[in-house]
Homo-oligomer: A and B are copies of this chain.
Amino acid sequence: MPQKTTEIDALLTPAEVAVMFRVDAKTVNRWAQRGLIPHVWTLGGHRRYPEKAVRELLARDITRREA
């Protein structure tokens, strides 16, 4: 078990998320702006995406198709 009780979710860059969904990084940002993906901000105003949440969104659509 490489993790402690306090789970810290790794953060992904827009480019990394874009590769996972096979879309452009700009598209990922549009999803974030619409509130479709949780994200945090760097102090300089760049977005970072929790890996866990991204994977869930990616796997969700495979099985079902609910918004």
- Give the B-binding residues of A (Cβ under 8 A): 8, 10-13, 20-23, 27, 31, 36-44, 48, 57-58, 61-62, 65
Contact = CB atoms under 8 A, between A and B. Distances in A.
A27 B46 CA distance: 12
Contacts of A37: 43
This chain's copy number in the assembly:
2
A57 B31 contact: no
A7 to B, nearest CB: 13
A12 to B, nearest CB: 7
A66 to B, nearest CB: 11
Contacts of A10: 22
Contacts of A40: 21, 58, 61-62
